[in-house]
Amino acid sequence: MNKPSPFLATAIGSLPHASADEAVTVVLRSIPECPIWPQLPKRGFKEQMEIQYCEGLPCVVLDEAKSRMHFDTSDEDLTAAAAGQFYEKYMAAEESGDWSAFAVSPDFSAGIYALEKTLSAGKKRKWVKVQTTGPLTIGLSVVDQDKRAIYYNEMFRDVLVKAMIAKCRWQIKKFTPLADGIVCFVDEPILSAFGSSTYVSVVRDDVVAILTELSAAIHAEGALCGVHCCGNTEWPILMDAGVDIVNFDAFGFGESITLYPDQVKKHLDAGNYLAWGLVPTSEKVAGQTVSSLVNHYDGLVARLADRGISRELIRKQSLVTPSCGTGSLRKELAEKVFDLLRETSAVLASRQ
């Protein structure tokens, strides 16, 4: 399996553009060595982060007028039949290796197809990054007909895990011919609330097991697995799940990673990566420069080094990203994020 070069720049999914082609242009200008397909929430309801991956899920109900999605499990017989059909389709895909039954269609993602078209007409890339909203975030954010988070329905929790595995594997297969290596991120912003009173019944072992299953499936397709969380969380959860890349908001919560030096060292010693979300994806980006972001990175590395981790090891296995997606920003600020990302990555890499 290929390994990324130090300070390779990539990004989280969303951009604020309405045009997929325009968004792809921004992406390829700024992160040409590891482009992403852009998620475009401003195109409408179907490109929202949970809804974008709902095709093929049993019992899903889309209310476009109210911009809502929920699961209707009120009829037990219909629910059991729909779940059975889903599992049959999943097992058939697993046996054949053809995951197209779980495709994200152009109605739900213009960005996938715009990036594929552009890359197909040009040179092969070193890396391409794809992404899927994680089953924890979908499961704890989307409810059933009784307004209960679907995560707490054990059968549907497993359905969500299998469905997001299928979405990942379909994307990896789609872009494998266009790159030397694929990085697949599972975006789990809900992990920033792990351990809070709201989700006190969410068990750590279950979270690790879910992410382990996803990571193993991504590895089975020959891709690297990353998990993104844009807030503070218990970072060893991701490391215990065997992910290759832990992506965290280093701008806003960088100190949190320094609280787990033993686990970080073990993660890096195993050849894995930290993806530093150095560039803020808020109005704060207007006040940042390459120098301020490099200095911030250096300060965090110094804190890890003081806790016994080799600076060279950290640097060798560091990637650079924005802190989160840019979909909620004005276009000019989003493009500033991508410009700073490109320039910061280049400066950090040049110091090797």
Q: Return the pLDDT at 231.
A: 86
Q: Compute the CA torsion angle 161, 162, 168, 169 (nearest 10 deg).
A: 150
- Report the pLDDT averaged over residues 191-214: 88
Residue 178: pLDDT band (50, 70, 90) is very high
Q: Return the pLDDT at 201.
A: 85
Q: What is the longest distance spanned by two Cα atoms in the chain?
A: 62
Q: Return the pLDDT at 352.
A: 65
| SS3 of residue 324 by DSSP | coil
Q: Which two tokens stand for residue 183?
A: 């990085």
Q: Do the beta carbons of residue 34 and residue 130 sit within 8 Å? A: no
- Which residue carries 């179907």 as its tokens? 46
Tell whether domain 20-350 is in CATH 3.30.365.10: no
Given a cut of 90, whether residue 254 has pLDDT beyond it is: yes
* Helix (H), strand (E) at residue 200: none
Crossing angle of helices 20-30 and 110-120, in 10° steps, is 60
Residue 351: pLDDT band (50, 70, 90) is confident
Residue 1: pLDDT band (50, 70, 90) is low
Q: Do the beta carbons of residue 304 and residue 255 sit within 8 Å? A: no
Mean pLDDT of the chain: 96
Q: Do the beta carbons of residue 219 and residue 243 sit within 8 Å? A: no
| SS3 of residue 67 by DSSP | coil
Give the side-chain half-sphere CA count within 13 A for 307.
Answer: 17
Q: Do the beta carbons of residue 100 and residue 170 sit within 8 Å? A: yes
The distance in angstroms from the start CA to the end CA of the chain is 23
283-292 pLDDT, tens per residue? 999 999 999 9
Rounded Cα–Cα distance for residues 71 and 246 (Å): 31
DSSP, res 193: G
- Report the pLDDT averaged over residues 308-313: 96
Q: E strands of 104-229, at which residues?
A: 125-133, 143-144, 179-187, 224-229
- Report the pLDDT averaged over residues 1-11: 92
Write b or e for each residue in 39-50: b if 16 or more Cβ atoms lie within 10 A of its Cβ, otherwise e. bbbebebbbbbe
Pairing of strands 68-71, 60-63: antiparallel
- Report the pLDDT averaged over residues 125-136: 97
* Nearest Cα to Cα of residue 165 among 191, 143, 135: 135
12-71 pLDDT, tens per residue? 999 999 999 999 999 999 999 999 999 999 999 999 999 999 999 999 999 998 889 999
Q: Do the beta carbons of residue 247 and residue 204 sit within 8 Å? A: no
Pairing of strands 179-187, 224-229: parallel
Q: Return the pLDDT at 194.
A: 83
User: Cβ of 231: how many Cβ atoms within 10 Å?
Assistant: 17
Domain ranges (residues) in the chain: 20-350
Q: Do the beta carbons of residue 110 and residue 46 sit within 8 Å? A: no
Q: Return the pLDDT at 2.
A: 81
Q: What is the DSSP string of 91-149?
A: HHHHHH---GGGPPPTTT-HHHHHHHHHHHTSPPEEEEEEEEE-HHHHHHHSEETTS-B
